[in-house]
Amino acid sequence: MNKHTWTIAVLAALSLLACDDGDGAASPSGGADAAAAADQGSAPDAAVSAPADAGPEPDAAPPSGDVVGRCQYVNRFSQGEECKAYVGAAWTAESAAADCEAVFLNQPGTFEAGVPCGYEAELGSCAVGDMAADGYVLVSAGNDPADCGLSQTGCETFAGGSFTPAGVCMADDRCPEPEPTVGPVFVQPYTDCRPPLEGEPPGAGPDGQVCTPVIVSGCTEPGRRYADYASCADVITQRPYSAYGEVPQVDPEDPRLADEGYLGELAWVKTEMEACACACCHTTSDTPNGFSLWDTEAGPLWIDTIPDTGLAMLAGWVGSDAFGAVPTADNNGFERIHTGTPTTDTARMVAFLERELARRGRAEPEFAETRPFGGPLVVQQEYEPSECARGQGVEPDGTVVWTGGAARYVYVMAPDAANPGAPPNLNVPEGTLWHVNVPTAEPLPMGCGMKYGEAPSNAVQVVPADGAAPALEPGKQYYLYVMRDVGLPITRCLFTFQGE
């Protein structure tokens, strides 16, 4: 791995935080594929090792006996050397070789039968799946301690595996050198108020301004274009963008082209979507290099660029709560509670999308088993914390300690609190006792003396908004949740405060 791993991991995770990419199909950034892998319980071979004290010993440790074989390759995103060891009894040399030829999310690898993975310098290994069946172990080469935290995140958050640290990742350095921040960080939601464009009516904001929430689920005023009133560049930090997808050919005899009622409703859907941050990814004119997966500007029947599962999500047949939503009252009348796309008229939007699905021969029961959209965000919602390992928790003197590297978001919560999710409505769960974040400055180094209830000078105390955090009670259990950035948890565990 290399220093660009920070950017890679953020891109992979945060691509899930955006307007919904249709069927969750792959984009060149890899984020949606990573999500699909996490949703299905399989793993993108993108980040594979762990930091010291990453948590309890894995339930299924990498086996020490024979392996079916190994697949060596260069990770497409990190450009680091990685190896996949096929250890489950369900693997055969033939099936392992075929898997290696099409390693998920990576360049095709080189397969060797009967040979285990091994590097002179390793960051660690990630055991994924049932080691007695179709499980496998991912091993990552490297000797840079700065890569340990992201290796933990990749293994736990995206691969759904268990870590075993190795090499430099086994060091117990309570106050390491700060890690460099490479690439963008998640821009927290804010409101952008601007005068209306020339020729447009006054806005509903102060002094006739148009006020727009800058967040992936945000929308400007109905009838206006989002990109005219908000920064798509900031939105893209919340959903990394890649141009991807093709526009299908339009049959000139398609009866929809002569159906004025249909075309009128389709034009309304287009206007609704382009008034929202979806336009930052799903148009041609508002994106840097072209649309991502589907395009509202792709001609008179642009709806055909959206896959069936994408339409089902947009219609609310498949859940997408994990992406977050701006409250309707703060979102210029747009709601994203019952549909996957914000809209000012839920019934009208659902009716159109359901008619389009029916035209394609699809019915809602067909999607009953489809996993909710959100990939790692859904996995994070479902995560159940276990007991903290050494080097994690709040010490008797109040020092907050975690593993996995520098962090931008630190929570101390009630033990039964929900896991923090996407802003603006899921990022501060009920039961949060203390929460600080560092949205713009350098992140907080782990184990360097930050005290519970005392926000560092470069951090913002979000909870409580005013006053002191409630005192921790000796003998009582609490939930420590630490994220490298939004969508990138590094420590999530339950600790019992001992008190002084």
Question: Is the same domain home to 140 and 218?
Answer: no
> Is 183 domain-assigned?
no
Q: Answer with the one of 342, 367, 392 that is the final residue of a domain.
A: 367
d(CA 77, CA 49): 15
Question: Is the same domain home to 48 and 147?
Answer: yes
395-416 in b/e form (b: 16+ CB < 10 A) is eeebebbbbbbbbbbbbbbeee
Question: Is the same domain home to 10 and 127?
Answer: yes
Q: Which of 180, 343, 240, 171 lies closest to 10 in space, CA to CA?
A: 240
Question: Is the same domain home to 410 and 331?
Answer: no
> Is 180 domain-assigned?
no
d(CA 369, CA 418): 24
- Per-residue confidence band for 181, with pLDDT thresholds at 50, 70 and 90: low
Beta strands 122-128; 162-165: pairing state: antiparallel
How does pLDDT run across 7-39, given as a tens digit for each residue? Answer: 333 333 333 333 444 443 333 222 323 333 333
- Per-residue confidence band for 90, with pLDDT thresholds at 50, 70 and 90: very high
> Is 163 domain-assigned?
yes
pLDDT, residue 444, reads 87
Question: Is the same domain home to 269 and 334?
Answer: yes
* DSSP letter (8 states) at residue 128: E
Is it the case that residue 423 has pLDDT exceeding 80? Answer: yes
> Which of the two residues, 158 and 173, has the higher pLDDT score?
158
Average pLDDT value for residue range 359-372: 96
- Lowest average pLDDT, out of 27-36, 218-227, 309-318, goes to 27-36
Q: Answer with the one of 335, 367, 399 that is the final residue of a domain.
A: 367
Percent of the chain past pLDDT 70, that is, above it, reads 81
Average pLDDT value for residue range 195-212: 97
> Is 148 domain-assigned?
yes
Q: Answer with the one of 317, 334, 367 that is the final residue of a domain.
A: 367
How does pLDDT run across 431-490, given as a tens digit for each residue? Answer: 999 999 998 878 888 767 789 999 998 899 999 999 999 999 999 999 999 998 898 898
pLDDT, residue 87, reads 92
> Is 179 domain-assigned?
no
Question: Is the same domain home to 362 and 387?
Answer: no
Domain that residue 11 falls in:
5-170
Is it the case that residue 173 has pLDDT exceeding 70? Answer: no
And the tokens for 311?
């339409």
d(CA 437, CA 444): 9
> Which of the two residues, 74 and 386, has the higher pLDDT score?
386
446-460 in b/e form (b: 16+ CB < 10 A) is bbeebebbebbeebe
> Which of the two residues, 338 and 11, has the higher pLDDT score?
338
Q: Which of 126, 111, 104 lies closest to 40 in space, CA to CA?
A: 104
Question: Is the same domain home to 117 and 195?
Answer: no
Question: Is the same domain home to 453 and 487?
Answer: yes
- Per-residue confidence band for 182, with pLDDT thresholds at 50, 70 and 90: low
Note whether 449 and 362 are within 8 A (CB). Answer: no
pLDDT, residue 9, reads 38
Question: Is the same domain home to 45 and 104?
Answer: yes
Question: Is the same domain home to 139 and 209?
Answer: no
> Is 73 domain-assigned?
yes
Q: How many domains does the chain have?
A: 3
pLDDT, residue 62, reads 39
d(CA 413, CA 345): 37
Note whether 274 and 281 are within 8 A (CB). Answer: no
Question: Is the same domain home to 127 and 195?
Answer: no
> Is 373 domain-assigned?
no
pLDDT, residue 63, reads 41
> Is 462 domain-assigned?
yes
pLDDT, residue 458, reads 87
Average pLDDT value for residue range 203-212: 97
pLDDT, residue 157, reads 67
- Lowest average pLDDT, out of 29-33, 56-60, 189-193, 316-320, goes to 29-33
Is it the case that residue 188 has pLDDT exceeding 50? Answer: yes
> Which of the two residues, 320 and 24, has the higher pLDDT score?
320
- Of 32-46, 171-185, 405-419, where does the model show the most confidence? 405-419
- Of 130-139, 331-340, 368-377, where does the model show the most confidence? 331-340
- Lowest average pLDDT, out of 129-143, 258-272, 340-354, 422-436, goes to 129-143
Average pLDDT value for residue range 98-115: 79
On average, the pLDDT of the chain sits at: 82
And the tokens for 449?
């003396």
Is it the case that residue 52 has pLDDT exceeding 70? Answer: no
pLDDT, residue 185, reads 83
Question: Is the same domain home to 267 and 333?
Answer: yes
pLDDT, residue 177, reads 56
How does pLDDT run across 268-280, given as a tens digit for each residue? Answer: 999 999 999 999 9
